[in-house]
């Protein structure tokens, strides 16, 4: 099963993708992770990525599609597209690639959130510097012993752009560029939505229901 997780910054896409990887053996295709991995790989595509990033240029859709093509060729137990597509043009390119590779897109799960609640949640967010486990001052505080419950790490960090003004700008970009994908996939009969502001286990169960239903 191949799926897309859609939702604004901080909706919990990364957290839910990790759960799907752990529990279902799926492969998470995060654009940022793929670019970093490619840059250090030494492959032909990796050299192109390294050159573009060294110049400070934006990585083109063609390059990202090329990286996804390589990942699809490796096979696996289904893919989770996280952070791609972001635009209608990218959605069309992904559909064409999946068709060429004999693959299908089975579900597009939108994590629906309330903007004000999302801002409150994100400005309270921190992550483990070692494994990336996400904590929240309100809903999931860092353990009292100061150690990550996932890996035991003791370094925690907040993203510099996890502040109200920055987040509102990121939300605006999301609504301008990415929210049209909701209608796009709805028209294709692939879109479904869950409440992204529930507890992590509640959201996990809601996603599982949509995938298995």
For the record, the structure tokens of 66 come out as 């090329």
Name the active-site residue from 158, 170, 193, 210. Answer: 170
In angstroms, the CA 209 to CA 176 distance is 29
Determine which one of 13, 18, 39, 121 is catalytic. Answer: 13
To the query of whether residue 159 is one of the catalytic residues in this protein, the response is yes
Residue 86 catalytic?
yes
Which of 86, 112, 140, 158 does the annotation list as catalytic?
A: 86
Catalytic residue among 69, 71, 112, 125: 125
To the query of whether residue 170 is one of the catalytic residues in this protein, the response is yes
Of the candidates 69, 112, 158, 159, the residue annotated as catalytic is 159
Catalytic residues: 13, 86, 125, 159, 170
């Amino acid at each position: 099963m191949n799926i897309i997780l859609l939702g604004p910054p901080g909706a919990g896409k990364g957290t839910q993708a990790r759960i799907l990887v752990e529990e279902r053996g799926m492969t998470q295709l995060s654009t940022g992770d793929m670019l970093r991995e490619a840059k250090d790989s030494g492959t032909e595509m990796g050299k192109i990525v390294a050159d573009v990033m060294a110049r400070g240029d934006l990585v083109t859709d063609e390059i990202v599609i090329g990286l996804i093509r390589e990942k699809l060729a490796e096979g696996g137990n289904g893919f989770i597209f996280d952070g791609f597509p972001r635009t209608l043009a990218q959605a069309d390119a992904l559909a064409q690639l999946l068709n060429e590779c004999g693959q299908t897109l089975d579900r597009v799960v939108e994590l629906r959130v309330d903007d004000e609640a999302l801002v409150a949640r994100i400005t309270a967010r921190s992550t483990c510097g070692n494994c990336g486990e996400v904590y929240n001052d309100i809903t999931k505080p860092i353990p009292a012993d100061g150690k990550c419950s996932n890996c035991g790490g003791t370094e925690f960090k907040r993203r510099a752009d996890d502040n109200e003004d920055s987040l509102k700008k990121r939300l605006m970009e999301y609504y301008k560029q990415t929210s049209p994908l909701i209608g796009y996939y709805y028209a294709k009969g692939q879109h479904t939505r869950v409440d992204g502001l529930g507890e992590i286990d509640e959201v996990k169960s809601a996603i599982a229901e949509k995938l298995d239903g």
